[in-house]
Amino acid sequence: MAKIIAMVSNKGGDGKTTSCLNLAYGLAVAGKKVLLADMDPQSNSTSILMGLSKDLTAKSAEQYKEAYARYLDEGIDSFLAAFKALEEYVNKNDFEADVHDVIEGTTGIKEAIRSTKYENLDLLPASHKLATSDLKLKSKLAGALSVLRKAFKQIENEYDYIIIDNQPFENSLTLNSLTACYKEGDLVIIPTKIDRGGLEGTYSTLNSCYSILNEEELDFDVKLLVTMKNRNGIDCAWVQALKDTFQDAVFDTVIRYQAKPIADASLNQQTVLDRYPNTPVAQDYQRFVYEVLNQK
C-alpha cells in the first residue's frame, strides 16, 4: 500500500514544490512507483512535470484580443467580452480532468491521473480551478476533509508513494492533504526555512497538524526538513537548535541554499536532481531521498 507523504507548510516560498518534485523524481529513479498529487491552484509542480510554459508571449496577447473582438462581434458587452476572452486564455491549457474535478466529485481519480516524462512518476494535475474548491468543500455537510483520502483509496495499491504538494496556507484543501495521511508510516513533511517568517510558518503548520491529529482518527508522523540553509552562523545555530530539540522529527539532511541550479532546472522544467545531479543542492536532495527510502 502506498506510503502517503504530504509536503505542508502554512507559508509560501519555503521549498514545498522543489522538495516534492525532487523527492518524487528521486524515488521514481530508485524504482519506486510514485504519484505526485498537486493540491496547489498555482500548479507549479504540474507545469514542470507536464512541460507547460507559464510565460506570457506577445502572440498570446494578440490571441487574447482576437477572442475579445470575437465576443464583441457576438454582441456581448465590452467588459464581459474582456472577461470571457481572459477566461478562454486561462483555460486554454486545461486537462480533460484534474484534481479539482476529483475533489468536486465530477471525475474519478483514475481518469485524472497522467503519466509524465519521467518513468515511474505519475501526476494528478492541478489547475487554477482548484482555487474554487475550498469554498465548495466548506459547504459540504459531511466528509469534507476526507475527499482526497477516499479518492486515494482507489489507487493506493498501484503506488509505492503518493506525494502531495500544497498551497501555502491552511484551508479545506490542505486539511484534505493532512487527512489523506491516515495510517502508520504516512508522513507530513514541513519544509522549514531559517528566517523569522519560516519559523512562524513551521510553528503554524505544526499547530494545524496537532489540531487535526486530535480531532480525527489519524496516524501520521511529522518531520521537519530544513530547506535553503545559508552558511552563516545564525542558520547553523538554528539548524543545530532544531536538531537538538526536535531530534528524530527533523531530517538529518539539510537542503542548502543554491539559487542558480534550482532556478535553471525549473526554467527548463526539470528537477535539479535530473538536470544538475552533481551540484551541492542536488546532492542534498539525493540524501533526502535516501532518508525517505529508509524510513520504516
Ligand X SMILES: Nc1ncnc2c1ncn2[C@@H]1O[C@H](COP(=O)(O)OP(=O)(O)O)[C@@H](O)[C@H]1O
- If binding is defined by CB under 6 A, does position 263 make contact with ligand X? yes
The C-alpha cell at 283 is 546532492
The C-alpha cell at 230 is 545559508
d(CA 143, CA 175): 12
Candidate list 9, 10, 17, 174; residue touching Mg ion; CB under 5 A: 17
DSSP code of residue 117: S
Q: Among candidates 112, 91, 92, 89, which has minimal Cα distance to 101? A: 112
Give the contact letters, 157-176, x = binds to ligand X (CB under 6 A), - = no: -----------x--------
The least distance separating ligand X from the CB of residue 150, rounded to whole angstroms, comes to 26
Candidate list 3, 16, 223, 256; residue touching Mg ion; CB under 5 A: 16
Q: In what order do the strands lie in the sheet with 161-166?
A: 114-115, 121-124, 34-39, 161-166, 3-7, 187-193, 221-227
Give the contact letters, 23-52, x = binds to Mg ion (CB under 5 A), - = no: ---------------------x--------
- If binding is defined by CB under 6 A, does position 257 make contact with ligand X? yes
Candidate list 5, 6, 8, 18; residue touching ligand X; CB under 6 A: 18
Q: Which residues pair with 5 in a beta bridge?
A: 163, 187
From residue 277, alpha-carbon distances to 8, 198, 243, 281, 286 in Å are: 25, 27, 27, 9, 8
From residue 155, alpha-carbon distances to 12, 15, 37, 178 in Å are: 29, 27, 12, 18
- If binding is defined by CB under 6 A, does position 281 make contact with ligand X? yes
- Burial class of 91 by CB neighbour count within 10 A (0 to 12, 13 to 18, 19+): exposed
Candidate list 3, 4, 6, 14; residue touching ligand X; CB under 6 A: 14
- Partner that binds at residue 228, options ligand X, Mg ion, none, CB closer than 5 to 8 Å by kind: ligand X
Binding range to ligand X, per CB under 6 A, among 12-20, 126-134, 156-164, 197-205: 12-20
d(CA 180, CA 182): 6
Neighbours of 237 (CB within 10 A): 11
DSSP code of residue 255: P
- If binding is defined by CB under 6 A, does position 269 make contact with ligand X? no
Q: Which is nearer to Mg ion, 168 or 277 (CB)?
A: 168
- Partner that binds at residue 18, options Mg ion, ligand X, none, CB closer than 5 to 8 Å by kind: ligand X
Candidate list 258, 269, 283, 286; residue touching ligand X; CB under 6 A: 258
Binding range to ligand X, per CB under 6 A, among 8-16, 98-106, 135-143, 242-250: 8-16
- Partner that binds at residue 258, options ligand X, Mg ion, none, CB closer than 5 to 8 Å by kind: ligand X
